Amino acid sequence: AEAAARAAGDRPTVMADGTAVSVYANLGSIADARAAADAGAEGCGLLRTEFLFLDRATAPTEAEQAADYGGVAAALAGKPVVIRLLDVGGDKPAPYLDIAAEENPALGVRGIRVALAQPQILETQLRAILSVADVEHCRIMVPMVASVDEMIAVRTVLDRLRGELGIGPVQLGAMVETPAAAITADLLAAHVDFLSVGSNDLTQYVLAMDRGNPALAAGIDGLHPAVLRLIQSACRGAATRGVPVSVCGGLAADPLAVPILLGLGVRTLSVPPARVPATKALVAALSLAQATAQAEAAVAVDSAGAVRALARRFAEELA
Ligand code: PEP
Ligand code: MG
């Protein structure tokens, strides 16, 4: 029965009108990758490589990293694996990373800023990824991108290492987690193979609300019109160069958000493994015309509450 479920889950997801959508899983370990494969995930849209770096006294070696990335790729048996470069900062304790204490860690040396300031971290991680046996199924994703310059810098290192190791092209993408990246997606699109919206950080940064502050939890909603307009900007900018857009933040796992995201032009949703089956079922029940109408309505109202109200009405009609 499990094999049958897996076979059914392996079918690509199509919307009711035939539009293809990929439903991937967010992973933080090899065990997660096995759970995702069992749940029918069509790939990994976000491997949070931090799991390898935190809670230890020394940095993971290239071989240790390669073993873990290879283990995730093997568990997903040839499906795409988007490996996110290390995304730590002043708020996550990793003493060997040599990041000074900061007054505003969320606005500090974090994400790709760490890797560009300490190039051996970036090189070791890229070498580890390039040494995975299944590298042709691996894609590399850069966190906390704010400027085209950062993508050019990463690509320069990646191309040099590929040359040294004799490895062919590997897709390189940017996360859209800063308002800057969303607003300038057309500029980023010239330098990337894909964009992936990190809605958790994008919401925190555009609303200027700490995502971990419980006093703000009620206000920090990814369906706020400001967030939706940024995602719309990301999709429009990406479309000018035919660059695909995914969403790997928590918004992709919110059933009320899924029709809106698809209507805005998102074609890959990456969700926690446990959310994969329900997300696939929801996508299959929707037509692109319905999703487009939902997105148009959502960007026209004036509050997260109003977006949620119209999304809820639509969900009831669909049920
Ligand atoms: C995000 O910010 O939405 C995201 C996917 O990254 P993380 O949650 O790991 O910061
Ligand atoms: Mg993030």
How do beta strands 194-197 and 138-142 pair? unpaired
Q: Is 70 exceeded by the pLDDT of residue 2?
A: no
Percent of the chain with pLDDT over 70: 96
**CA proximity to 203, closest of 254, 164, 147:** 254
Centre of ligand 1 to C-alpha 48, Å, is 9
Would you say 269 and 20 are in contact if contact means Cβ atoms under 8 Å apart? no
Give the dihedral sign, CA 300/241/149/262. Answer: positive
**Taking the model in full, what pTM does it have?**
0.95
Taking only the tens place, the pLDDT of each residue in 61-109 is 999 999 999 999 999 999 999 999 999 986 777 788 888 888 999 999 9
Q: Give the position of tokens 């074609």.
A: 267
Q: Is 90 exceeded by the pLDDT of residue 11?
A: no
Q: Which residues are CB-neighbours of 212 under 8 A, at least 6 positions away?
A: none
What letter represents residue 8's amino acid? A
Taking only the tens place, the pLDDT of each residue in 279-300 is 999 999 999 999 999 999 999 9
Centre of ligand 1 to C-alpha 141, Å, is 12
- Angstrom distance (rounded) from CA 117 to CA 202: 23
- Angstrom distance (rounded) from CA 50 to CA 114: 13
Taking only the tens place, the pLDDT of each residue in 100-154 is 888 999 999 999 999 999 999 999 999 999 999 999 999 999 999 999 999 999 9
Centre of ligand 1 to C-alpha 199, Å, is 7
Largest alpha-carbon pair distance within the chain?
Answer: 56
- Angstrom distance (rounded) from CA 256 to CA 308: 7
Is the CB of 249 inside a 6 Å radius of any atom of ligand 1? yes
Is the CB of 287 inside a 6 Å radius of any atom of ligand 1? no
Q: Which atom of ligand 1 is nearest to the CA of 201?
A: 2
Instruction: Give one word for 77, left, alpha or beta, with left for phi > 0 and alpha for psi -120 to 50.
Output: left
**CA proximity to 96, closest of 46, 128, 157, 52:** 52
Nearest CA to ligand 1 atom 4: 198
Quickly state the pLDDT bin for 225 (edges 50, 70, 90). Answer: very high
Token output for 211: 């995502």
Is the CB of 196 inside a 6 Å radius of any atom of ligand 1? no
Average pLDDT over residues 185-210: 98
The confidence score (pLDDT) of residue 3 equals 52
Mutate to test the pocket of ligand 1, among 32, 44, 48 (most ligand atoms within 8 A of CB): 48
ipTM: 0.99
Centre of ligand 2 to C-alpha 132, Å, is 25
Q: What is the 8-class DSSP label of residue 14?
A: E
